[in-house]
Chains A and B, each alone.
Chain A
């Protein structure tokens, strides 16, 4: 088992009565309602819930991809709901790594260039090739996304997220487009980020099984958090079977 650097019990993220309402023409839709929660530094958190429950909205607010309609979101002691667009961008650039369900790589850049792209944000990064090697793709650095499998693309996406050594990794259905074996590999990589590198990893999924590898499971339904469970003995990703 890898060395566990997580669970420092320092609160990294705090949601205080956060709400989010979408308006389209005459129609308003309440995606989140009065959500309060805490996530500690180094934890691997799984956001579980059915489709339309509000998981992705929660993740977007957490990563500064969207702004809350009400309430406060505190990250490392700073209220990110008070940030303007520029400051939010800096927050995402420095502190947040994002992994998407469909990888969202730039199709006209190679694997290495996709990772190296982060250098252009002006933040401190590790060697992009090393990041690729960490996800096992050192030998595919010159391949374009269209020349790689879904699993490989997702690993490039992880390399792109971790190259800047962020405090928070956000993963939106990271295995949603992958087969079982590839999914397990990706989950292992994410778990390592938490356990080995001490990063906070928040993962949105609708797959209940993934709850087993999490330190904390936040259950979302109809825009509210209806349960938060702590997992004292999370499984290794390798042990998952589905």
Chain B
């Protein structure tokens, strides 16, 4: 039997109860009395993708219903993956305005977590580009748009799959000129430099993100990756899709020493290549080329992904970094990204105007204690932690960061729940 796990490999209670949705016309709520949770590719780091009872695998429903090549509107079943969609739309001159770091994400998952990407400074979150969606609830099937059934629409965007099963969605795409991106790698060695560079470069660049090396206490250095689509096709050949695979290692490869070596190598490599021309599959989806989650061993890893509000972003990020150094945690990956002041349509959307920091840390008792302390800091600073990545926040943390959670709880389908929702709201399934 297949076990239902989350991507980070953290030891949550696993579940082996799942059913598959093969046609959007099916009604899995009538198959049993179980409490269900729709599930896509299971790329969430924490327990938002773990069912209280039974998971509904939605990936078989991945058909395209309509693709309007003139207006760039695509209507598709919610189990379709981003990789599959871009393979179709990019040659036709359209791309998704918001993509995450992996293409192995379903549309349903992208909506349910209201994901963001390196384009937040102009595109905002994924939910802003959803025109319509159909929701399958235990008692009805209902089409929601920003105008019709608007409250349910807003609850479903970033609704963590709790308002029912999204069966299909209609998305607005944006024009693109070629499948190739030109990336400038700009080095920074203080946080101030990072803020100055990104603020300037965001004016004329489509995708911006900062990678940061925190392996030596007291020293910050990193690279801002600034990419835009090229105007014409590059000469190089389209790369073959890589399938990086590795069994989960028995223990984590990451110690402070290996992190230092890996980060130094990466720094050396990137700072020597100021301009790179890459295929979108390489530029957008670094996580698809390395079996990243397997490197952390059987105990898995935490990702802390927090956003600090604009007014105090500088000191806030400083404080989090200082905490990480103080705790002497190995941090093999740290990513910085500025969020613009673009309102997200979802009730529980994560991004707010400010700067977000994401760090991956191998799972140890020491790490979880240190990260919990950082989450408490984030709450005090008025920031937020991303539910899709979270495994550590308490109900108190969550309810202070997301005061609208009760509005979602009111619209939650009573036959739908996740381990995450039980943890942060203390509701229990019947």
A binds B: no
A residues contacting B by CB (< 8 A) are none
B residues contacting A by CB (< 8 A) are none
